[in-house]
Chain A
Amino acid sequence: MVEWQFTLLLLSNGLLIGLMYSLIALGFVLVYKATDAINFAQGEFVMIAGFVVAVALGAYGAPLWLAVPLGLAAMVAFGFGLERVMLRRLIGRPIIAVVMATIGLAAILRGVGPLTWGAETKPLVLPISDEPFILGPLFVPPIQLLGASVSIVFLGVFGWFFLKSRKGIAMRAIADSQQVAMAMGINVERYFALAWAMTGVVSALGGVIWGSMLGVDVHLSLVGFKVFPVVILGGLDSIPGAILGGLIVGVVENVAAGYVDPYVGGGTKDFAPYVLMILALMIRPYGIFGKRIIERV
């Protein structure tokens, strides 16, 4: 293969994978934007969704058109429930309380998932071909194309939601100041629940797509680790930032895997985005599109 073709392949692959990271990062951003909570269990949300869908498909033989909505419904319920049972009580507490609670939650979910549904890797088969599309020099696996398309659609929908819709404006208002939002009669708790439910939707989609690529077991939750470089690069509370951050992480990962790994024997793929993340924190801590604190003198 010629050099430029190889590069192009790495790039296109990176961009598609990157969009799929963006989708998962979107789950994180939604919660952070509305509730200021940092969700360290995002990857575990994806894993649980993967389990639900894979088990429905495999063990119960449910058709796909039933299994996917079931996964969505389960994750929405999970999001609502989690907010009601755990997170609502942490409102107004120091940020570290929420961080620790979600880290704990992540550990619990990593245990409870395999405990309930079995530790072996479950296939999550989508009715699409494994044969890549060949577009000139590019090889595009259909699952990546599907994942990227779903990501774009949902990033667009949620982006519109926050920017233009009535509820979206209310959520941004809450993110700005909870107390003032309350003074305006906005029911803050209801919007928190909505944010967690929306994260549930995104996680369910992520679970289906990533689950079908990697298979469903406890390792599916590792995809959550990609969220942090994505959101730090893009800005914790920015949907366009999640897109751009995802694209950057996807490309950096692939380029590192393609060009650096052959010399060092592999592994750079996994930490290259983190190097970038730390650099980003040093140079531009609020991310590319992140909300800057407006200060007045």
Chain B
Amino acid sequence: MSAVSDDARPLLAVNSIEVIYDHVILVLKGVSLRVPEGGIVALLGANGAGKSTTLKSISGLLRTERGNVTKGTIEFRGQPIHRKDPAEVVKRGIVQVMEGRHVFEHLTVEENLLTGGYTRKNGHSARADLELVYGYFPRLAERRQVRAGYVSGGEQQMVAIGRALMARPRLMLLDEPSMGLAPILVQEIFEIVSRMNREAGVAVLLAEQNATMALRFAQYGYVMENGRIVLDGDARTIGENEDIKEFYLGLSGVGQRKSYRDVKHYRRRKRWLS
């Protein structure tokens, strides 16, 4: 388990990618990471560290925001995917659950879920997949005819994850699933994700600010700062390392702060963890 990055051919390999927005703004400066088949990998870091950008470069959504992978490669099952458009990436088995619970608000819960299966040609199995999703999220079954804009935040996150599951992915990119949700709901959602991982074999790349929660479910973790991976390792090692706790997770005492900016970051992280 420990040597995840040494696997011969991981499910996903991101090889020192550089991302530039609008042709001028350098956002990622040589990011590399690996997700093994069936694994859960956490991508940690503060707001603005580049987690979402990393996920979007994998899913291809980057280009809808005028971003470009200018250096490096992204390989999925050995095939390069960094020049594919989002629809093609989904077809190959990667689906992203975007930050902020983006559901189609004017569609019902069930219609939302159905849109997740659109890349697969055989429309018939969609019904079976719906039942599978309702199996994971029984709450959604009760609310299937309700417009997604009117269900609770936690339920919207479930819709977003369930909808992604409808695409039958090999890899799910989860961007801040805990954002703005009550701790009890976060726990519930993480448990469902981990069940999905065990039962359906869906690998997960999880971008989170809520590091303690993410590390509890992940086997391996990367810490990002300022567009770079500054550290990676076993989830337990990361979670227990004192330095890491202090500098990246904001768990313990006062470090050497150089500017007000650092203080702000520090406080923000602390709020997520307390």
From DSSP, what is the main secondary structure of chain A's interface residues? helix
Among B87, B104, B106, B123, the residue within 8 A (CB) of A180 is B104
**Which of B73-81, B95-103, B203-211 is the interface stretch?**
B95-103
Among A166, A173, A187, A296, the residue within 8 A (CB) of B104 is A173
List chain A residues, Cβ under 8 A from B95.
183-185
List chain B residues, Cβ under 8 A from A181.
104, 115
List chain B residues, Cβ under 8 A from A291.
106
Give the total number of A-B pairs whose CB atoms are below 8 A apart.
Answer: 80
Q: Are B61 and A169 in touch, CB under 8 angstroms?
A: no
Chain B CB within 10 Å, residue with most, of A170, A180, A181, A294: A180
Is A179 at the interface (CB under 8 A from chain B)? yes
Q: Are B64 and A179 in touch, CB under 8 angstroms?
A: yes
Is A177 at the interface (CB under 8 A from chain B)? yes
How many residues of chain B are within 8 Å of chain A by beta carbon? 32
Q: Are B102 and A180 in touch, CB under 8 angstroms?
A: yes
Q: Are A185 and B105 in touch, CB under 8 angstroms?
A: no
Q: Are B64 and A186 in touch, CB under 8 angstroms?
A: no
What is the chain A residue whose CB lies nearest that of B156? A296
Is B233 at the interface (CB under 8 A from chain A)? no
Cα–Cα, bound, A176→B112 (Å):
11
CB proximity to B under 8 Å, residues A92-135: 92
List chain A residues, Cβ under 8 A from B123.
166
Report if A183-B61 is in contact (Cβ < 8 Å); known contacts: A169-B107, A172-B106, A294-B106: yes
CB proximity to A under 8 Å, residues B72-127: 86-87, 89-91, 95-98, 102-107, 111-112, 114-116, 118-119, 123
The 0/1 profile, CB within 8 Å of B marked 1, for residues 163-174 of chain A is: 000100110110
Q: Are A184 and B116 in touch, CB under 8 angstroms?
A: yes
Cα–Cα, bound, A19→B193 (Å):
51
Distance to closest chain A CB from B138 (angstroms): 23
Report if A182-B107 is in contact (Cβ < 8 Å); known contacts: A169-B114, A294-B150: no
Q: Are B87 and A182 in touch, CB under 8 angstroms?
A: yes
Binding site for B on A (CB under 8 A): 92, 166, 169-170, 172-173, 175-187, 291, 294, 296
Binding site for A on B (CB under 8 A): 59, 61, 64, 86-87, 89-91, 95-98, 102-107, 111-112, 114-116, 118-119, 123, 147, 149-150, 163-164, 167
Beyond A169-B114, A172-B106, A181-B115, list 5 extra A-B contacts (CB 8 Å): A175-B106, A180-B104, A182-B87, A183-B95, A186-B118
Between-chain CB contacts (< 8 Å), 14 pairs:
A166-B118, A172-B104, A172-B111, A173-B115, A176-B106, A178-B64, A179-B64, A179-B98, A180-B98, A180-B102, A183-B59, A183-B90, A185-B91, A294-B150
